[in-house]
Amino acid sequence: MEEKAFFNLSYGVFVLGANLDGKINACITNTCMQVANDPTRIAIAAINTNLTCEMIKKSGTFSLSVLDKDTTFDTIKHFGYQSGRNVDKFADFAYELDANKNPYIKKQICSLLTCKIISSTDLGTHSLFIAEVQDAKVMSDKAPITYADYQKDIKPKTKVQTDKKIIGWRCKICGYELNESNLPSDFVCPICGHPADDFEPIYAD
Ligand SMILES: Cc1cc2nc3c(=O)[nH]c(=O)nc-3n(C[C@H](O)[C@H](O)[C@H](O)COP(=O)(O)O)c2cc1C
């Protein structure tokens, strides 16, 4: 199977917001599609080990912000490269709460969906959620970014220090570690499916 074939699937980039018993959190996702109309339903997939996934499984609701063309790497890094288990992502980030009290960010979004989960399926690495859209709002007239825009124009290239010994590679998206000094350019993370250029080197001390 050619893993690179999956890179030709098209996606958007979203902020998935959660609230469990008053604690708010959010993460970046690239998986959302509308799968039914009347009632309107969407499908999203979340990595099982993510705090946001755990929270929405328990609360049964989430917000989904569609990121627009002005989105900066700082925003994606803030929500997508660190976990709410270690940091309060909303401590210094402007947000509001939707009708279910799930947070959404106030800048760089063009649409906002307020959603209630109606089914979830454990797929191993991820859970697939089908949700009913309770409300939808256009937040700006800017175009949405695609996952391809993010990979090509927003994400900075990983810098490798050539004077240090590399003993492994870590996926910046999900934390998976490959304990080998060489990372093949066509390597794909077995947990989150992100490509080799989402890996950072692990150096010997
Ligand atoms: C571009 C991009 C796309 C991502 N897509 C997904 C996704 O579809 N589902 C998911 O659960 N995590 C995805 N992630 C990873 C989470 O955003 C990341 O693991 C985050 O740190 C989880 O935070 P949490 O533990 O606070 O939930 C993506 C990250 C990036 C940068």
Instruction: Please count the structural domains in the chain.
Output: 2
Distance CA 172, CA 135 (A): 33
Residue 75 lies in a domain: yes
4 or 153, higher pLDDT: 153
Please give the Cα distance from 89 to 104 (Å, whole number).
12
pLDDT > 90? residue 192: no
Q: How far is the CA of 173 from the centre of ligand 1 (A)?
A: 6
137 and 42 co-located in one domain: yes
Whether residue 3 is contained in a domain is answered as no
Query: Which domain covers residue 188, as residue numbers?
Result: 159-203
Give residue-wise pLDDT tens across range 59-84: 999 999 999 999 999 999 999 999 99
What is the reported pLDDT for 75?
97
Whether residues 40 and 137 share a domain: the answer is yes
How far apart (Å, rounded) are the C-alpha atoms in residues 38 and 139?
A: 22
At 147, is the secondary structure helix, strand, or coil? helix
pLDDT in tens, 20-65: 999 999 999 999 999 999 999 999 999 999 999 999 999 999 999 9
Query: What is this structure's pTM?
Result: 0.91
Q: Are 113 and 136 in contact (CB under 8 A)?
A: yes
For ligand 1, atom 5, the nearest C-alpha belongs to: 29
Longest dimension (CA), the chain: 59
103 lines ligand 1 (CB under 6 A): no
Query: Where residue 168 sits, what CATH number does that domain have?
Result: 2.20.28.10
Asked if residue 168 belongs to a domain, the reply is yes
Best probe residue, ligand 1, of 47, 85, 145, 194 (max atoms within 8 Å of C-beta) = 47
pLDDT surpasses 90 at 178: yes
Q: Given 125, 150, 175, which residue is the final one in a domain?
A: 150
Phi-psi region of 186 (alpha: psi -120 to 50; beta: other; left: phi over 0): alpha
Residue type at 29?
T
The residue behind tokens 């902020």 is 15
Instruction: Please check the confidence at residue 180 and state whether its pLDDT lies above 90.
Output: yes
